[in-house]
Amino acid sequence: MSGGPAPLSARDFERFRRLAYAYCGLNLEPGKESLVAARLSKVMGQLDIASFGQYYEHVVADPSSGALIEMIDRLTTNHTSFFREPRHFDFLRSTVLPQLAGRARIDLWSAACSSGEEPYSFVIAILEELGGNAPELQLLASDISTRMLRAAAGGVYDQSRLRDLPLALQRRYFLKGHGGSEGLYRVKPAVRARVRFVRVNLKESFPAAVGIYPLILCRNVMIYFDPPTQQALIERLYQRLEPGGYLLIGHAESLNTIAHPFEYVRPATYRKPGRLWNGR
Ligand SMILES: C[S@@+](CC[C@H](N)C(=O)[O-])C[C@H]1O[C@@H](n2cnc3c(N)ncnc32)[C@H](O)[C@@H]1O
């Protein structure tokens, strides 16, 4: 007995593919069958469900859609890291923050925050740059995955996740030895207090918690969407930027195949035409 995932028929793959696409724009292309099978088998094992057909019925029969959220949680890729794509942090320091210099308060949005490394990195970068002069800072961090949001709000990371952070930053912004375990670090309360976590499905219209921002991070999530979903999302993100505001996407992504009104600034960096209000 191999203990591997149960076989996933072409018909079942197609049903999961359609459901994931309809619900959140996730583009499960042919070739992803074994990945889908492996990921769904885990949750099926926990539920004691033996076949993909039965699991599909279980997901669509749940009127609260808790089972659907759980399914999407399992299918999405949550890879992230602290200070991922450092050129965006250089851009924040060199260009964005000077333009917001006179504001008493800065609000930002991390639209696919995964396990929290991205929003915490931006808060840390801003505190480092502005130091004692840091204005009131609030970052909205959202994701579709409730599992990721729980982890992100906890702000606890294994030492290996902090590997690339300079020791000085680890000491200033993390508490070592969480829960009595030497290998666990927790983001300090002063940083966590600046981040608010909310569940947002980027395929749907945005909930009331989402405001208008001078900077939106939407990095490494559109890559999982097909062009029509990307197009619709970019149009809605545009509405949520202040004039002159910046949209950062992943460096493996681009808006080249999309019709959009943004100005290209540099790789993975776009600006809504206009001028940011500098607070003065
Ligand atoms: C690869 S991670 C990117 C994390 C971070 N932005 C970064 O660049 O390191 C992609 C995240 O997008 C989330 N995601 C996928 N589909 C989504 C959707 N329809 N709405 C909101 N978030 C979604 C996943 O749950 C996952 O946490």
Tell me the residue type at 148: M
Question: Does the C-beta of 78 come closer than 6 Å to ligand 1?
Answer: yes
125 near 91, Cβ under 8 Å?
A: no
Query: From the CA of 194, how far away is ligand 1's center (Å)?
Result: 20
- C-alpha–C-alpha distance, residues 246 and 50, integer Å: 48
39 classed as catalytic: yes
- C-alpha–C-alpha distance, residues 241 and 238, integer Å: 5
DSSP for 124-155 reads: HHHHHHHGGG--EEEEEEEES-HHHHHHHHHT
Tell me which residue of 26, 22, 49 sits closest to 36, measured CA to CA.
26
Query: From the CA of 1, how far away is ligand 1's center (Å)?
Result: 35
Tell me which residues of the chain have a pLDDT lower than 70: 1-6
The catalytic residue among 12, 17, 73, 143 is: 143
Contacts of 154 (CB under 8 A, 6+ apart): 186
Query: From the CA of 112, how far away is ligand 1's center (Å)?
Result: 4
- C-alpha–C-alpha distance, residues 106 and 124, integer Å: 14
Ligand 1, residues 79, 143, 203, 218: which to mutate, most atoms within 8 A of Cβ? 143
